[in-house]
Amino acid sequence: MNHFSYRDGIFHAEGVDLAKLAAEVGTPFYCYSTATLERHYRIFAAAVPKDTLIAFSVKANGNLAVLKTLQKLGAGADVVSGGELKKALAAGIAADKIVFSGVGKTKAELIAALEAGIYQFNVESEPELLALDKVAAELGKRAPVAFRINPDVDAKTHAKISTGLAETKFGIPAGRVRAAYAAAAKLKHIEIVGIDVHIGSQITDLEPFAAAFARIVELARMLRADGHTISRIDLGGGLGVPYRTDNLPPPDPAAYGALAAKLTKGMGARLIMEPGRLIAANAGILVSRVIYSKRGEKRNFLIVDAGMNDLVRPALYDAFHDIVSVREPSPDEPRERYDVVGPVCESSDIFAADRDLPQLAAGDLVAILTAGAYGAVMSSAYNARPPAPEVLVKGGEWAVVRPRMDDDAYLATERIPGWLR
């Protein structure tokens, strides 16, 4: 469920008329619903064991206002860069609720995280472990560590967002777990605290989770038998969301939470979970205006002012997003089949192919749904098109939470060297 719906013939974000908002802000723009963010977080929190650290995956949506909204509900953060760490802290998320994942942590990032006093490093390789120990020694600190284990489990999701198979770059192979923990135990500035697994994103079946969780619990018991302290089990994220209305929905959080509770029962370990898409995806939309309606030889094209630089998921993953007219169509209104495309100079700049929509013309507004995760955070300035701004609504109020960068401001980010002047 989300809080985007038609009221008096116009698509609204909570109590905000999106046609009026578009006139104020300009298009394209991202719009996030506070009520949806809050609802999704609360449902997830109620579904998982009581003491679970819910570390929102900042890579899904790193807007400071979104992070602050979740921080007020008690969320922690899962970060994968120094920039995301700074964002989480700036949003008021306590350092002791932050876990740092990612395969390529730099020395500067390790220093920043150690100085902040984060809850846990999810270490993904033996070389990273040695680098972390060295930095911790220089700072006179001990680093709390959980190794991310690659369980070689097929998440049954898109290949580009599957992270738990043996051939991916993520984590330590299960066959090297005992050796890795034995090596860590010998390092004076490393504190072993747990074990971590994350097998991918947009997972719509509980079976891969069951296999991964069972494997990680088995390894945790083995490591405890070896004398290691495993007081935390990080189960990662990855639970999918419904991107289209004509498919069966993914498992609900209650089933996911029950599975995690069942498989970790009796371990006496604190659970960590890292939802991102589940919280943010349906809480955001991308609003765009039609530039042209163009008839081709065999297809009709709806050319909108949002492009793949604003929302790259369809081009990158062949991802499906529902698209609706901001003006509510009547039941008997004529319809057309369109390829909904952007103005970027790439054939892959397409949001939908052969999509059934009401007849639309230049100036009409459309909303691309389920765009709150991996939308704005993956945007770019390709074709010298500064990314779309972001707006947060709460009831009948709204605020621009990332302003639009105009062309002059974008140009000001670059420099011409003196020898070219």
| DSSP class per residue in 275-298 | -SHHHHGGGEEEEEEEEEEEE-SS
Rounded to an integer, what distance in angstroms lies between the CA atom of residue 30 and that of residue 283?
A: 10
Residue where one domain finishes, among candidates 228, 243, 273? 273
Domain annotation covers residue 87: no
* Unique residue bearing structure tokens 């939802």: 275
Quick check: is 356 in a domain?
yes
The pLDDT value given to residue 57: 97
User: Is residue 264 located within the same domain as residue 357?
Assistant: no
**Under 8 Å between Cβ of 247 and 5:** no
CA distances to 312, 349, 358, 385 from 301, rounded to whole Å, are 19, 12, 13, 21
Asked if 300 contacts 294 with a C-beta cutoff of 8 angstroms, the reply is yes
User: Which amino acid makes up residue 220?
Assistant: A
Return the amino acid letter for 118.
I
145 DSSP β-pair partners: 121, 192
Distance CA 9, CA 21 (A): 15
On the CB side of 96, CA atoms within 13 Å amount to 0
- The CATH number of the domain holding residue 364 is 2.40.37.10
For residues 25 and 136, membership in a common domain is answered with no
Same domain, residue pair 202 and 130: yes
Q: Are residues 374 and 358 in the same domain?
A: yes
**Do 160 and 110 sit in the same domain of this protein?**
yes
- On whether both 261 and 119 belong to a single domain, the answer is yes
- Residue 257 located in a structural domain: yes
347 assigned to some structural domain? yes
Q: CATH number for the domain including 213?
A: 3.20.20.10
**191 and 318 co-located in one domain:** no
Rounded CA-CA distance 321/324 in Å is 10
Domain closes at, from 273, 290, 305: 273
Domain assignment of residue 114, yes or no: yes
Residues of the chain with pLDDT under 50: 155-165
Are 269 and 285 contained in the same domain?
A: no
**Does residue 192 lie in a domain region?**
yes
Which secondary-structure segment (H or E) carries 108? helix 107-116
Co-location of 122 and 254 in the same domain: yes
Q: How far is CA 168 from the centre of its chain?
A: 19
Q: Is residue 403 part of a domain?
A: yes
Our answer to whether residue 31 is catalytic in this structure is no
Mode of pairing for the β-strands spanning 270-273 and 232-234: parallel
Peptide bond between residue 314 and the one before it cis (omega within 30 degrees of 0)? no
- The reported pLDDT for the residue numbered 168 is 62
Helices (H) and strands (E) in the chain, counts: 12, 21
Q: What's the predicted TM-score (pTM) here?
A: 0.93
* Catalytic, out of 345, 361, 416, 420: 345
C-alpha pair distances (Å), 119 with each of 76, 77, 99, 100, 268: 10, 10, 6, 8, 18
Where does a domain end: 273, 300, 316? 273
The reported pLDDT for the residue numbered 232 is: 98
Using a 10 angstrom Cβ sphere, with 0-12 exposed, 13-18 middle and 19 or more buried, the burial of residue 49 is middle
Contact 90, 64 (CB under 8 A): yes
Take residue 110 and report the two structure tokens written for it: 């390790």
- Look up residue 262 and give its DSSP letter: H
Q: Which domain holds residue 252?
A: 102-273
Note if the bond before 28 is cis, omega within 30 degrees: yes
Beta-carbon contacts of 259 under 8 Å, excluding residues fewer than 6 positions away, are 206, 209, 210, 213
Distance (Å, whole) CA 370 – CA 240: 12
Whether the Cβ atoms of residue 78 and residue 58 lie closer than 8 Å to each other: yes
147: closest CA among 81, 113, 103? Answer: 103
Locate 299 and state its tokens: 């297809």
267 shares a domain with 172: yes
Structural domains counted in the chain: 2
CA distance 101 to 94: 17
The answer to whether residues 286 and 355 belong to one domain is: yes
Query: Smallest Cα–Cα separation from 52: which of 74, 19, 21?
Result: 74
The span from the CA of 79 to the CA of 101, in Å, is: 6
| 365 and 398 belong to one structural domain | yes
* 3-class SS of residue 83: helix
Query: Nearest CA to 14 among 288, 392, 329, 311?
Result: 392
| Spatial separation of the C-alpha atoms in residues 28 and 285, rounded to whole Å | 10
Q: Does residue 97 form part of some domain? A: no
* Residue whose pair of structure tokens reads 């459309």 in the numeric block: 366
